[in-house]
Amino acid sequence: MKRNNLLSQSLLRFQFPFLVPSQNIHLNNSMIGPRKLGISLAIGAFALLFAWFGFYKLAPDQKSLPLPSHLQADIAATPEKPSPATRTNLTPLAQAPEVYVAPNGNDAADGSQQHPYLTLRRALQRVTAGGTIHLAAGTYREGELQITRGGTAQQPLILQGAGPEKTFLKGSAEINDWRVWRDNIWQAPWSTNSQQLFMDGQPLQQVGSQSGWHFRKYLGQLILKPVGETQEDLTPGSFYYDHTTQTMYCQLPDGADPNAHLMEASVQKFVLEGPEAAHVRLQGIGFAHSNGSEKGVPSYLVQLGAHHWTAEDCNFDDGDFMGLKITGDNHTVRRCQFRRNGDSGINMNGQLDDQQPLAPVATRTRAPMHILIDSCTVTDNNTRRFMAIWHAGGIKCVPLCRDVTVRNCVVKRNRGNGIWFDTCFGDITIENNEVSENDNGIMYEISYPLPGDQVGALIRNNLVTNNKKHGIYISASSAAVVEHNTVWHNWVNVCLHGMPRKVFELKNNTVTDNLIGEGKHADMIVFTGEKAGDNVLKGNYYATDAQHRQPLIGIVSGKGYDITHRTIEALTRATGQEAGGQAGTLEWQTGAEVTRRLPASSPAVGKGRQLP
């Protein structure tokens, strides 16, 4: 029993080290208290201290609900569904540098272009380190695939698809043989507690408390609020799984017969990973559907491995929690799409050993990661409606990420923060992105540079518009430079606050040469209370309008966002801030209302996002 409890804790840490069960969280029918975490009282005291300081803010509350017995099982012991490659005795073959896979292939073949394999699993067993696997167009329903051999800098292992809309790797299975249960509700025998069900690629709403996340709390609220309880609560566009009878129920949006549609249910914990492999390239593949969140742990479609992985021209869609998990160093993600994942599109963890508690703030360190996310689209994530202020949205990096660049990306319509660095270090670059219609746009939270870092976060040349809360939010962080952004029509356009946070400071941040306008509540908020200082505003342009709307600026020493100044002149006289700042009306270049391009004659030329 003790072994199972410790394993459960390790699983909770495997993406976020803060997700360690609090007191009175029940796993395996026993109560886990701090003394069973296997750490000294001193470290336990540190953990409690940092929880109070707001560091372990992702930890479930002490009043999280007991897990039902069918969700308590050790996830590592969950029976796996064998792939076709493991159902028959296959003759071992010598390794080959080029291996081919096709939907009409045969795993008993030789994997040549003329006689391809049926599964990627078989191909991974055959290919040499630094070889290439060619995946023909089609759908491959496989999961829990392990890359154990990578390559070298000169010759990486390559998984090459025919394109992300042609070659699909799915951790799901089709459900057929539906029968009417009553009215427009249908049922089918099913043996997996699938967290997601799709009709022709569109996710249906899960009904009932079927995931461990339905029982975990943050700030007294459930992290994933259930909708309804049983099949009696089904409404158009929803599904319910009854684990006692092993039956899947669904009601389609139009009341149609599911036998007339492609019905896919998630079944695999993940699709692909290779934690120890290096020098791997994924190209032209669409990854979709995973089921690892059943036990209440963060799950993913794909996890990048030890170092030097590249994902190019791939899609990571409809995962039950995150699309892509990034750990390790020297990875590149380029021209990929992350759409409709259950919690978030991309998750990055900079901790070298994510099964160990974090060190006290003063002793934390980490070598630069050298991670690049370039020209990606991250949209419509958190489809399952996880609590957004806990952990959800587009790109979430936590903890200890250092030397990471996110550039040229479109990050839109995520239920949560668009780009969020939390408990990270410096040399974070966020540039040339379009970030709109999220909860918060860009957030750099309780983070700071280490010695040798050039900056905490460099946030420049972004278009940040129409986010529900903050556009750009520097929260209890230091040494951020926010320059040449166009920040428009957010609730608060630019905010330096998030205080007080006890351990963390708000110091040495600079906001300069931005184009700021139409803040619904405020254009600029700056906290000046305890543990804040040397934050500079200069040279920003604040848009007014024909109705004489003036800048809305708040210089505050408390938790609120009161507006204290409505002219640049008054702000400068009172605080010395905004030397060279301006306010005035603006007109956009004809047809450029979306890109916010200024005509050459504009008084704000040189401010805001600089376009070629």
| Closest listed residue to residue 296, CA positions, set 36, 1, 60, 61 | 60
The answer on pLDDT for 6 being more than 50 is no
pLDDT, tens only, 360-371 = 787 889 999 999
The mean pLDDT value for 167-188 works out to 97
pLDDT of the residue at 30: 30
Share of the chain above pLDDT 70, in %: 85
The mean pLDDT value for 393-412 works out to 98
pLDDT of the residue at 90: 62
pLDDT of the residue at 358: 76
DSSP string, 265-330: EE--S-SEE-TT-EEEEEES-EEE---GGGGSS--EEEE--SEEEEEES-EEE--SSEEEEE-SBS
Please state the separation of Cα 243 from the chain's center in Å.
Answer: 29
pLDDT of the residue at 48: 32
The answer on pLDDT for 593 being more than 80 is no
The answer on pLDDT for 149 being more than 70 is yes
pTM above 0.85, yes or no: yes
Q: Report the DSSP pairing between strands 172-174 and 263-266.
A: antiparallel
pLDDT, tens only, 185-233 = 999 999 999 999 999 999 999 999 999 999 999 999 999 999 999 999 9
The mean pLDDT value for 73-80 works out to 41
pLDDT of the residue at 69: 72
pLDDT of the residue at 73: 53
- What mean pLDDT value characterizes the chain? 87
Confidence of residue 23 (pLDDT cuts 50, 70, 90): very low
pLDDT of the residue at 543: 94
Distance separating alpha carbons of residues 250 and 258, to the nearest angstrom: 8
pLDDT, tens only, 262-297 = 999 999 999 999 999 999 999 999 999 999 999 999
Contact present, 448 and 422 (Cβ < 8 Å): no
| Closest listed residue to residue 225, CA positions, set 417, 467, 388 | 388
Contact present, 331 and 304 (Cβ < 8 Å): yes
pLDDT of the residue at 61: 54
pLDDT of the residue at 91: 61
Lowest-confidence range among 40-54, 294-308, 549-563? Answer: 40-54
Q: Is 90 exposed, middle or buried (0-12, 13-18, 19+ CB in 10 A)?
A: middle
pLDDT of the residue at 568: 95
Higher pLDDT, 594 or 243: 243
CATH top class, domain 80-171+269-424: mainly beta
The answer on pLDDT for 239 being more than 60 is yes
Q: Where are the domains of the chain?
A: 2-77, 80-171+269-424, 172-266, 426-612
AA letter at 422: D
The answer on pLDDT for 147 being more than 90 is yes
The answer on pLDDT for 37 being more than 50 is no
The answer on pLDDT for 443 being more than 60 is yes
The answer on pLDDT for 74 being more than 60 is no
Q: Could you give the 3-state DSSP secondary structure of residue 88?
A: coil
Confidence of residue 587 (pLDDT cuts 50, 70, 90): confident
